[in-house]
């Protein structure tokens, strides 16, 4: 979907402030997204608009400014920190003479690079195809040609765009069918865990909050962790043994982000079912981030969208080594731990999280006692 021109990708980033209070943080996050995609940033263009321009999203004067920078810097792609309509994307490509990517397609590109498991790759391909299906109005010359040959797939005069749409729809159906089969396999595994009375814990949080690092600290799984957005796409599950609580299952899941494309939420619903069916969520927060409250809100919004808002949460303030907080726990008026402060990198405070998990496991066991064993007389 994201065809890298020969010689590497040199990108001009465009971000327009429409009065959002967190405009600076949004721009910084956009720059991190571009870096995570492996592109070379050659310029950042900012501006202000009250509302998007219907034709270009940016105004005609701003488009001229972008065009000058593209020619001057030799850029071969322009990335917008916004979701563009198909018409806006087509008009911008015509006006600027280079590839245009919006925020959605950039996130899809990163997901395409990072997916490792068979299921993850299927989910990314599904999201990309559903996005592409809305972009077939782009100014590709081959889509304007008509199909002149006779055959089983369409008669005389069928437009290439109609062929492309049908092929995409056929592939989307095949991908959804395969994902349904994988979902059934996961449900069998989940039922086995339920029968075994194993507490299921899922790590959720904003991207780059440190979930995978914390997952490794808890499970010693050696899962991939890096200081980049969307380092983890595929759910990883490991069993953990706590001396005072017994066995539990911990899952590391994909991180969330502002304006996460709905196609991705839908496509990754199968993976996110580990979150939906968890007994407890560890909501990992980058405590050093100045926008941590907004990030918590974004994660809670996605959790509500996938039907996981009612699952009990423990907030985990991670990266306390970066802002001088002390490790420990915070309890509510009933004595229940609702927040843990720790550093997954240094290991400081991880023992408090194990304490919180032990207490949660004990409470779960009290509500779901072991089934009694009966023998025949």
| CATH code: domain of residue 356 | 3.40.50.300
* The pLDDT of residue 193: 53
Question: For residue 80, which of 88, 148, 72, 354 has the smallest C-alpha distance?
Answer: 88
Q: Are 341 and 325 in contact (CB under 8 A)?
A: yes
pLDDT in tens, the chain (377 residues): 445 444 478 999 999 998 777 788 889 889 988 998 888 999 999 999 889 999 999 999 999 999 999 999 999 999 999 999 999 999 999 999 999 999 988 988 888 887 777 877 888 888 888 888 877 654 444 444 444 444 444 444 456 777 778 888 899 899 889 888 887 876 666 565 554 567 889 999 998 899 989 999 998 866 555 555 565 555 678 888 888 878 888 988 877 887 776 666 766 665 566 677 889 999 999 999 988 999 999 899 888 888 888 999 999 999 999 988 999 999 999 999 999 999 999 999 999 999 999 999 888 765 555 544 434 43
Query: Model-level pTM?
Result: 0.72
Round to whole Å and give the CA distance between 68 and 86: 23
* The pLDDT of residue 34: 92
First to last CA, the chain: 67
Same domain, yes or no, for 325 and 201?
yes
* The pLDDT of residue 375: 40
Same domain, yes or no, for 358 and 224?
yes
Q: Are 81 and 259 in contact (CB under 8 A)?
A: no
Question: For residue 127, which of 26, 10, 230 has the smallest C-alpha distance?
Answer: 230
Q: Are 240 and 193 in contact (CB under 8 A)?
A: no
The dihedral sign for the CA sequence 298, 123, 102, 14 = positive
* The pLDDT of residue 237: 82
Structural domain ending residue among the three candidates 55, 82, 101: 101
**Residues contacting 210, CB < 8 A, separation 6+:** 225, 284, 286, 318, 319, 344, 345
Same domain, yes or no, for 335 and 212?
yes
Structural domain ending residue among the three candidates 101, 121, 146: 101
Number of domains in the chain: 2
Instruction: Compute CA 125 distance to the chain's CA centroid, rounded to the nearest angstrom.
Output: 14
Q: What are the contacts of 262-266 at 24+ separation with CB within 8 A? A: 263/104, 263/108, 263/127, 263/130, 263/131, 264/107, 264/108, 264/111, 264/127, 265/302, 265/305, 265/306, 266/127, 266/130
Would residue 185 count as lying in a domain?
no
Q: For residue 323, how many C-alpha atoms fall within 13 Å in the half-sphere facing its CB?
A: 14
Q: What are the pLDDT digits (tens) for 168-190?
A: 889 989 988 988 888 787 666 65
* The pLDDT of residue 148: 45
Would residue 155 count as lying in a domain?
no
Round to whole Å and give the CA distance between 162 and 172: 15
Same domain, yes or no, for 84 and 216?
no
Q: What are the pLDDT digits (tens) for 256-275?
A: 887 776 666 766 665 566 67
Would residue 223 count as lying in a domain?
yes
Same domain, yes or no, for 228 and 351?
yes
Round to whole Å and give the CA distance between 242 and 240: 7
Would residue 342 count as lying in a domain?
yes
* The pLDDT of residue 130: 85
Same domain, yes or no, for 250 and 358?
yes
Would residue 24 count as lying in a domain?
yes
Structural domain ending residue among the three candidates 67, 101, 135: 101
Same domain, yes or no, for 201 and 337?
yes
Q: Are 298 and 218 in contact (CB under 8 A)?
A: no
Strand partners, 80: 14
Question: For residue 163, which of 185, 148, 176 has the smallest C-alpha distance?
Answer: 148
Would residue 179 count as lying in a domain?
no
Same domain, yes or no, for 90 and 212?
no
Residues of the domain holding 318: 196-367
Same domain, yes or no, for 89 and 214?
no
Would residue 327 count as lying in a domain?
yes
CA distances 352 to 149, 260, 344, Å, are: 70, 32, 12
Would residue 294 count as lying in a domain?
yes
Same domain, yes or no, for 72 and 210?
no
Question: For residue 298, which of 255, 253, 266, 258 has the smallest C-alpha distance?
Answer: 258
Round to whole Å and give the CA distance between 224 and 341: 23
3-state secondary structure of 286: strand
* Residues counted in the chain: 377
Burial 183-220 (b: 16+ CB within 10 A, else e): eeebeeebeebeeeebbbbbbbbbbbbbbbbbbbbbbe
CATH number of the domain bearing residue 86: 3.40.50.11060
The DSSP result for 301-336, as a single string, is: HHHHHTT-TTS-EEEEEE-GGGTTPPPEEEE-TTS-
Same domain, yes or no, for 227 and 347?
yes
Q: What are phi and psi of 63, to 5 degrees?
A: -65, -40
């Amino acid at each position: 979907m994201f065809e890298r021109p020969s010689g590497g990708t040199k990108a001009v980033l465009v971000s327009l402030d429409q009065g959002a209070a967190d405009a600076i943080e949004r721009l910084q996050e956009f720059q991190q997204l571009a870096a995570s995609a492996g592109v070379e940033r050659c310029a950042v263009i900012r501006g202000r608009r009250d509302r998007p321009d219907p034709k270009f999203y940016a105004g005609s004067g701003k488009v001229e400014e972008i065009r000058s920078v593209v020619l001057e810097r030799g850029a071969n792609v322009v990335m917008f920190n916004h979701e563009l309509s198909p018409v806006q994307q087509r008009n911008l490509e015509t006006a600027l003479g280079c590839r245009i990517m919006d925020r959605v397609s950039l996130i899809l590109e990163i997901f395409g690079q990072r997916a490792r498991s068979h299921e993850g790759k299927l989910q990314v391909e599904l999201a990309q195809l559903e996005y592409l299906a809305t972009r077939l109005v782009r100014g590709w010359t081959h889509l304007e040609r008509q199909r002149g040959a006779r055959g089983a797939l369409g008669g005389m005069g069928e437009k290439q765009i109609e062929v492309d749409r049908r092929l995409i729809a056929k592939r989307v159906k095949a991908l959804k069918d395969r994902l349904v089969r994988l979902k059934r396999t996961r449900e069998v595994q989940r039922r086995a865990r339920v029968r075994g009375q194993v507490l299921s814990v899922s790590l959720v949080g904003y991207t780059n909050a440190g979930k995978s690092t914390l997952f490794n600290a808890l499970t010693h799984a050696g899962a991939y962790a890096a200081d980049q957005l969307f380092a983890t796409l595929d759910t990883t599950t490991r069993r953990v043994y706590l001396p005072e609580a017994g066995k539990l299952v911990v899952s590391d899941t994909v991180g969330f982000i502002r304006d996460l494309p709905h196609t991705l939420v839908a496509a990754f619903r199968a993976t996110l079912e580990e979150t939906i069916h968890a007994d407890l969520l560890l909501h990992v927060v980058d405590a050093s981030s100045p926008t941590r409250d907004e990030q918590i809100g974004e994660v809670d919004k996605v959790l509500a969208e996938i039907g996981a808002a009612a699952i009990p949460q423990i907030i985990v303030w991670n990266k306390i080594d970066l802002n001088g907080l002390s490790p420990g726990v915070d309890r509510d008026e009933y004595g229940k731990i609702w927040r843990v402060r720790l550093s997954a990198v240094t290991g400081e405070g991880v023992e408090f999280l194990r304490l919180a998990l032990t207490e949660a496991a004990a409470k779960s066991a009290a509500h779901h006692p072991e089934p009694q064993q009966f023998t025949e007389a």
